[in-house]
Structure 1
Amino acid sequence: MQQQLSVNLTIPIPSDSVLILKTELEELQQSKYDGVYWTMKDLEKRVGKKSDWIKEKILFPPNLRKKLDVRYGGPVAYPTSKGETWMFHAKKMTKFLDENFDKIFK
C-alpha cells in the first residue's frame, strides 16, 4: 500500500498580482489589439526601424505587398495619394510580422 500525506498550504499572492486561468490570459493577449489601428510612427516603434527601412523591407516587396494590401484582405491601407497617411490594422499586422519574421529580417 502506498503512503500518502495530506497537506493544507496557504500561498500568499502579492497585492499587485492576480491569479487567472491560462485560457483567460491567452484571450486577453489575443484581444489586446482588437479595434486598434497604427500609424507609420506606431509601426516604427513596434518594428524598431525607420519608415524607409519598413517600406523597403516590408511594405513594397511584391511578394509581401500582396499579403499586406487591404485590397487583398491584408492589414495595410496603402496611401493612394501624396500626403495621405498609412494605416495598419494592429492585430493583423502583429500576426503578419510574427509569422514573417524570418522573411523580413533575414
Structure 2
Amino acid sequence: MQQKLSANVIIQIPSDSVLISKVELQELRQQQLTGVYWSMKDLEKRINHKNEWIKENILYPSKFRKILDVQNGGFVKYPESKGDKWSFQSSKMAKFLDDNFHEIFKD
C-alpha cells in the first residue's frame, strides 16, 4: 500500500525579487538584445576572448564568414579599411554563438 503526504508550503519571495515564467524571462532577454549593436569590445566581453582569437576562430574562417558577413546577408559588418570598426547585430550574433558553440570551441 502506497502512502501519500500532502502539505501546504509558504515560500516568501524577498521584496527586491520577482517571480516570472521562463517564457517571460526569455522574452526580456531577447528584448535586451533587439536593436542593440555590439562593438568588438562588447563581443570580447561576451565570449571572454581577445579580438585576435575571435577573428581567427569565428570571423575569418570561411565556413562562418559566409554566414556572418553583411555582404552575404549576415549580421556582422566587417571593416572595409584600416581604422574602420566592427559592428555586430547583437541578437543574431548571440544566437549564432549559442547555435555554433560546439563548432567554435571544439579544439
Q: TM-score, structure 2 length as denominator?
A: 0.84
Following TM superposition, by how much is the alpha carbon of 1:89 offset from its aligned partner in structure 2, in angstroms?
0.7
Could you tell me how far 1:77 is from its partner in structure 2?
0.2
- Mapped to 2, the partners of 1:20 and 1:48 lie a distance apart of 29
Q: Partner residue of 2:73? A: 73
Q: 1:43-81: CA deviations, max 9, x gaps?
A: 111111111111111000011100100122212000111
Residues 77 and 11 of structure 1: CA distance in aligned 2, closer, same or farther (over 3 Å) = same
Superposition misfits of 4+ residues, deviation over 4 angstroms: 5-10
**Alignment RMSD, CA only?**
1.9
C-alpha separation in 2, matches of 1:97 and 1:31: 17
Q: Judging changes above 3 Å, is the alpha-carbon distance between structure 1 residues 65 and 17 closer, same or farther for their aligned structure 2 residues?
A: same
Residues 6/44 of structure 1: CA separation in 2 closer, same or farther (3 Å cut): closer
Superposition deviation, residue 16 in structure 1: 1.0
Q: Supply the AA of the counterpart residue of 1:70.
A: V
What is the TM-score with the length of structure 1 in the denominator?
Answer: 0.85
Q: How many residues align?
A: 103
**Match for residue 19 of structure 1?**
19
Q: Secondary structure at the match of 1:88?
A: strand
Q: CA deviation at 1:6?
A: 8.9
Structure 1 gaps of 5+ residues are none
Supply the AA of the counterpart residue of 1:46: R
CA offset at residue 8 of structure 1? 6.8
- Tell me how far apart the structure 2 counterparts of residues 23 and 29 of structure 1 sit (CA, whole Å): 10
Q: Identity across aligned pairs (percent)?
A: 62
Matches for 1:1-106 after TM superposition, within 5 Å: 10-106=10-106
